[in-house]
Chain A
Amino acid sequence: MPEMTYADAVREGLAEEMRRDPLVWALGEDLSTGHTSTSTNQYKNLIDEFGPKRIVNAPISESTIMGSAVGAAVAGTRPIADLRSIDFGLCAIDELVNQAAKIRYMFGGQARVPLVARMAIGTRHGAAAQHSQSYEAWFVHIPGLIVVTPATPADGKGLLKSAIRCDDPVVFMEHKELWGAKGEVPTDADHLVPLGKARIARAGKDLTIVAWSRMVVLACQAAEELATVGIDAEVIDLRTLWPWDCEAVFASVRKTGRLLVPQEAVLAGGFAGEVVATVAEALGDVLKAPVRRIGAPRMPVPYAPPLEDEYRITDRHIVATARSMVGYGGALARR
């Protein structure tokens, strides 16, 4: 398998789906101009192959980017509405939540809304309060939506392809600091990663760490460090937050007896709370230690590097919390 960046892998996935289905098209700001170092790098050269009717360079009109994608999906096409990041996507929440998520249901199943809303999440160094937010949990709360948070280049491609083929609206959340990450990516045009299936990113027996998006990378780094002190952590990459693969998490926690869920987003009201609560309700009798969450303090993302560092959850936080959990009840002492 060739190695490529996350951004290139996602672009390849989009191009493959556009070749496969002439009703797949994309719209968003700056899609045809192909600046480097922005999300639009993911559209580089696509306009040359597909033309301006399918790679639509939109005005700065987020409501109508999302709203027209909804209307075009209802009318039988498969649009990819690129809002660049969730920060800008906030200008189009109404169209996503009141329209895209509701139309199939409130019209009694007469219509489907097969659209993909691309809205990247995550802190990007120095981007400060309005270009760094992680609101993936918001969309889990909206019936009708699917929420995808790929962590690897291969999943970026395979999950986007599944999202485009899905008949319901998908919120596709890349991570801004993953766009440059490299990994092996399947070239098979029919390589799909199913929505709702987690992946074991690292197998282990002492502790389950559940993560998504860039936090998977940090959890794997933490797991390697934990291995040096004799703690064998299993890392589950959820890949999609709705639906989320609770069976995969249950299976892992039944094995390890311990659950830690680190997230990049603000801790309060975050998706980590949903995961630990579900496990605590279902598997309280197998837990060897209380479930734990880690998340950012409830503050806007600050700018100056030492302040941004204060906000960020890192592998250090994961290692420290994991060590305290495995030490709980004397497990570490038994080694």
Chain B
Amino acid sequence: MPTATSAGTERTNQTERIFGMFKTMLLIRAFEEAAHQMLTEGLVHGSVHQSIGQEAISVAVCGNMRRDDLIQSNHRGHAHAIAKGANPTAMMKELLGRVGGTNGGKGGSMHIADFSVGMLGANGILADGMPLAAGAAQAVALKGEDKVVGVFVGDGSTNRGPFYESLNWAKVFHLPLLIVCEDNGYASTTATRSVTAGGGPAVRARAFDIPVVSVDGNDLLAVDAAAAELIERIRNGGGPQFLHAATYRLKGHVSRDPGMYRPKGEVEERWDHEPIRRCEAWLVGQGVALNEIEAARAAAQAAIAASVAEARAAPFPDPKVAYADVQDVGAPSCPK
């Protein structure tokens, strides 16, 4: 149903939907910028893998899923988690290793998980999400549920064995699995094409007779339309589907990586095609006022600033927490 705007024009439900997804992209962007800032201040430990420039894929895919659908993430997982509904404050606490973190301070940035929203975890081993997601899909089938399982993999992962095993597996067992390949062109700090034979991820998936849709992953509307179609096919019993989303990683492999291995000017040129800017132009064309967009941007930044403040104020876990949740039988004994 069309709704009236402050400007007096009418906006469609589609515009409102996309504006909602746009706000989620802003929240992810603000979160990841803050995460790097916290790293430079020494408050985040280890490293941070940002997905700046890739947000549209997570937001559109998860935006077409139900809360009880499941996703399997990877090392670059902040966007997946926020898009699936994880609480950014709990995530920021996890990055800072504080009480109240999504994982209680046991995982950090690379292992964010929130099972309450079906986010089965970010993962430090590339392509391992594929068999894990295939298994989750097998559990869904065994239990007779109508959930869809999504797995996010990068182009770099397509050169690992479990990627192929799992494509075969998903097809043979006709699993309710959406494989989302976020093809950002770089496998860590190596240009993927320079180490990859053949025609790329879509060709590889088609070799297993898995239907593939290729989209411009920086075009939120295109990803949204493709994800909606593929998820509907899966939910209607269509078996595994593959979404190949071309994108670009605007930051380094980790946030401190200056990306010196990239051709001069490449990053600057790619900033012109990043998804938030493109979505913003579309929204303006649909009658969304610039002040509304600025208000949304300010709201996202304020929300993340509040998350950061709350995380900074949260205590570290009691060291005895280190002994919990190893296993029930044969757990390490905690010193008194």
Residues of A participating in the B interface, judged by any CB pair closer than 8 Å: 23, 25, 53-54, 56, 58-59, 61, 63-64, 66-77, 79, 94-95, 98-99, 103-111, 143-146, 166-168, 195-196, 242-243
Task: Please name 16 pairs of A and B residues whose Cβ atoms are closer than 8 Å in the assembled complex, sorted by A.
Answer: A53-B141, A64-B162, A64-B165, A66-B131, A72-B142, A73-B139, A75-B120, A95-B128, A107-B121, A108-B325, A111-B113, A144-B326, A146-B327, A146-B330, A195-B330, A243-B330
Residues of B within 8 A of A67 (CB): 128, 130-132, 134-135, 162, 166
Q: Which residues 129-162 of B have a CB within 8 angstroms of A?
A: 130-143, 161-162
Given contacts A74-B120, A105-B326, A168-B327, contact A64 B105 (CB under 8 A): no
Q: Tell me, yes or no, whether B241 is within 8 Å of chain A by CB.
A: no
Total of A-B residue pairs, C-beta within 8 Å: 156
Q: Assess the A146–B329 pair: CB atoms within 8 A.
A: yes
Partner of A64, one of B169, B324, B329: B169
Residues of B within 8 A of A77 (CB): 138-139, 142-143
Count residues of B near A (Cβ-Cβ below 8 Å).
49
Partner of B143, one of A23, A56, A107: A23
A166 to B123, alpha carbons, bound, how many Å? 24
Q: Assess the B325–A105 pair: CB atoms within 8 A.
A: yes
Q: Assess the A76–B329 pair: CB atoms within 8 A.
A: no
Given contacts A54-B142, A67-B132, A108-B104, contact A196 B113 (CB under 8 A): no
A331 to B172, alpha carbons, bound, how many Å? 66
Q: Tell me, yes or no, whether B72 is within 8 Å of chain A by CB.
A: yes
Q: Tell me, yes or no, whether B101 is within 8 Å of chain A by CB.
A: yes
What are the 7 closest A-B residue pairs judged by CB atoms, nearest first?
A: A67-B131, A71-B135, A243-B330, A68-B135, A108-B104, A108-B103, A75-B139
Given contacts A59-B165, A67-B130, A67-B166, contact A105 B106 (CB under 8 A): yes
Residues of A within 8 A of B161 (CB): 63
Q: Assess the B138–A71 pair: CB atoms within 8 A.
A: yes
Residues of B within 8 A of A110 (CB): 103, 113-115
Q: Assess the B165–A99 pair: CB atoms within 8 A.
A: no
Q: Tell me, yes or no, whether B269 is within 8 Å of chain A by CB.
A: no
A146 to B328, alpha carbons, bound, how many Å? 10
A109 to B104, alpha carbons, bound, how many Å? 8
Residues of A within 8 A of B120 (CB): 71, 74-75, 111
Given contacts A75-B70, A108-B101, contact A64 B327 (CB under 8 A): no
Partner of A75, one of B111, B135, B328: B135
Q: Tell me, yes or no, whether B89 is within 8 Å of chain A by CB.
A: no
Partner of B324, one of A76, A109, A146, A167: A109
Q: Tell me, yes or no, whether B107 is within 8 Å of chain A by CB.
A: yes
Q: Assess the A111–B135 pair: CB atoms within 8 A.
A: no
A333 to B122, alpha carbons, bound, how many Å? 65
Residues of A within 8 A of B133 (CB): 71
Q: Tell me, yes or no, whether B197 is within 8 Å of chain A by CB.
A: no
B19 to chain A, nearest CB (A): 32
Q: Assess the A94–B103 pair: CB atoms within 8 A.
A: no
Residues of A within 8 A of B332 (CB): 143
Q: Tell me, yes or no, whether B102 is within 8 Å of chain A by CB.
A: yes
Q: Assess the A107–B169 pair: CB atoms within 8 A.
A: no
A37 to chain B, nearest CB (A): 27
